[in-house]
């Protein structure tokens, strides 16, 4: 594949998608056509300097709108697709699974259908170089027990929530389009992401903001559930490597080898905040409150990224403590952003109500 591509990237104003856009504009010669519906978790601010780059274009559109997507493909003539647009919050999927099915399943089908039609009409050299990269989650694999080996690219699927089931369905569709129609697809599954610009309903920003405001830090169950973590900028770099170097039909499991219990994460946030902004009332650990577990809460996720690290010549650059410190410093410096979101977008809505939500 050539060094310069025109990439149609869906969900590029979301948390992970915006990190990919920033990385592409900063560190590659690729051009990005950013297709985003601009739902509640999207933010143009997250694009930072990339928003002003001549190599970035934002198009507001719904990936489940067949006619709109066909027109975008025809107008933009992409060399590759990176599909990140998704509904991702587990608690929201339990409360209302419909939007998850529409975006994650119907939206992915629509993209695949339009991409296959477009790819079939490309000249042979461009068709051979074309890639469709679908970005997914480790939650499709279900839950691990305490002594189980981590997930790999070959772990059988066993989704447990409406969110993970919708992502599993989309993964299966992508692989089917490769095996049935020959569309050159790639799938990547990742651990929990964290870092700058993450919407405040997710675990790390939610706990951090509540701790800053002296509010309770609700933790599901006993806090022993384990999640594997990766700093979002490391993940963005890996995703571009998958697009540039991946083998059609292959799967890539991406993580930073940093599993932590939810309680360890919450206590780490408290300690980092206490070191930066001591609370006169005492350590913020005092705010931790254990609440009833959510339905179907998976015990443990963990990925072994060894095969993908070798294939991509890549390894995550941030350890968890360093990445968490960078994240906390960013939120402290961007208080106006998340305060505005909480004031405007959460009027009458439920913020993720306990620590342990998927990232």
Give the Cα separation of 177 and 194 in Å (integer): 31
Is 108 within a domain? yes
Rounded to whole angstroms, the Cα distance separating 3 from 72 reads: 23
Question: Which pLDDT does position 356 carry in this prediction?
Answer: 42
Asked whether residue 289 is domain-assigned, the answer is: no
* Distance in angstroms between the alpha carbons of the first and the last residue of the chain: 31
Choose the catalytic residue: 36, 138, 302, 309: 138
pLDDT at 355 (0 to 100):
41
What gap in Å lies between CA 159 and CA 281, rounded to an integer? 42
What does each of the 359 residues of the chain score in pLDDT, given as a tens digit? 447 999 999 999 999 999 999 999 999 999 999 999 999 889 999 999 999 999 999 999 999 999 999 999 999 999 999 999 999 888 889 999 999 999 999 999 999 999 999 999 999 999 999 999 999 999 999 999 999 999 999 999 999 999 999 999 999 999 999 999 999 999 999 999 999 999 998 899 999 999 999 999 999 999 999 999 999 999 999 999 999 999 999 999 999 999 999 999 999 999 999 999 999 999 999 999 999 987 878 899 999 999 999 999 999 999 999 999 999 999 999 999 999 988 875 554 444 444 443 33
Q: Are 187 and 249 in contact (CB under 8 A)?
A: no
Residue ranges of E strands in the chain: 6-10, 31-36, 56-60, 80-83, 131-137, 185-190, 192-194, 217-220, 226-231, 251-254, 259-261, 288-291
pLDDT for the residue numbered 343 = 82
User: Cα 50 to chain center, whole Å?
Assistant: 19
Instruction: Give the total number of structural domains in the chain.
Output: 1
What the block records as the tokens of 220 is: 């599901």
Catalytic pick among 139, 153, 228, 237: 139
The distance of Cα 128 from the centroid of its chain, to the nearest Å, equals 28
Q: What is the DSSP letter of 101?
A: I
Residue 122: CATH number of its domain: 3.40.50.720
Residue 348 lies in a domain: no
Residue 138 known to be catalytic: yes
Q: Which pair of structure tokens corresponds to residue 251?
A: 């799967």
- Under a CB-based contact definition with an 8 Å cutoff, are residues 15 and 193 in contact? yes
Residue pair 223/286 in contact (Cβ under 8 Å)? The answer is no
Domain annotation covers residue 156: yes
What does the pLDDT read at residue 351?
Answer: 44
Q: Among 163, 194, 301, 331, which one carries the catalytic annotation?
A: 163
**Residue 331 domain flag:** no
Q: What is the pLDDT of residue 345?
A: 58
Q: In terms of DSSP bridges, do strands 259-261 and 226-231 run parallel, antiparallel, or are they unpaired?
A: antiparallel
Task: Please report whether residue 340 resides in a domain.
Answer: no
Q: What is the pLDDT of residue 347?
A: 53
62 as an active site residue: the answer is no
Domain range for 142: 6-199+230-258+300-318
Classify residue 18 as left (phi > 0), alpha (psi -120 to 50) or beta.
Answer: alpha
Is residue 313 one of the residues assigned to a domain? yes
Whether 237 sits among the annotated catalytic residues: the reply is no
- Whole-structure pTM value: 0.94
Residue 204 falls inside a structural domain: no
């Amino acid at each position: 594949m050539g060094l310069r591509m025109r990439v149609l990237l869906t969900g590029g104003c979301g948390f992970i998608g915006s990190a990919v856009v920033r990385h592409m504009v900063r560190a590659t010669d690729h051009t990005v056509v950013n297709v985003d519906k601009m739902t509640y978790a999207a933010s143009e601010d997250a694009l930072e300097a990339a928003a002003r780059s001549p190599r970035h274009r934002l198009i507001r559109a719904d990936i489940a709108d067949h006619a709109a997507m066909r027109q975008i493909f025809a107008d933009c003539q992409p060399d590759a697709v990176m599909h990140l647009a998704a509904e991702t919050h587990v608690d929201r999927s339990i409360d209302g699974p419909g939007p998850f099915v529409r975006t994650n399943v119907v939206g992915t089908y629509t993209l695949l259908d339009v991409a296959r039609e477009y790819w079939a009409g490309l000249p042979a050299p461009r068709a051979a170089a074309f890639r469709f990269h679908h970005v997914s989650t480790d939650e499709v694999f279900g839950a691990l027990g305490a002594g189980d080996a981590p997930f790999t690219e070959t772990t059988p699927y066993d989704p447990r929530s409406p969110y993970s089931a919708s992502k599993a369905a989309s993964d299966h569709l992508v692989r089917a389009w490769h095996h049935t129609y020959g569309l050159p697809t790639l799938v990547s599954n990742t651990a929990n992401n964290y870092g700058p610009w993450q919407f405040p309903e997710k675990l790390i920003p939610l706990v951090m903001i509540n701790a800053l405001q002296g509010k309770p830090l609700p933790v599901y169950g006993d806090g022993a559930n384990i999640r594997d973590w990766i700093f979002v900028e490391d993940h963005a770099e890996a995703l571009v490597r998958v697009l540039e170097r991946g083998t059609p039909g292959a799967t890539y499991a991406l993580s930073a080898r940093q599993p932590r219990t939810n309680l360890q994460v919450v206590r780490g946030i408290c300690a980092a905040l206490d070191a930066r902004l001591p609370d006169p009332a005492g350590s913020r650990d005092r705010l931790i409150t254990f609440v009833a577990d959510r339905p179907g809460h998976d015990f443990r996720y963990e990925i072994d990224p060894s095969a993908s690290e070798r294939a991509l010549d890549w390894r995550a650059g941030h350890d968890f403590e360093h990445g968490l410190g960078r994240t906390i410093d960013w939120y402290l410096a961007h208080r106006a952003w998340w305060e505005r979101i909480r004031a405007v977008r959460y009027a009458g809505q439920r913020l993720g109500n306990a620590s342990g939500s998927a990232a």
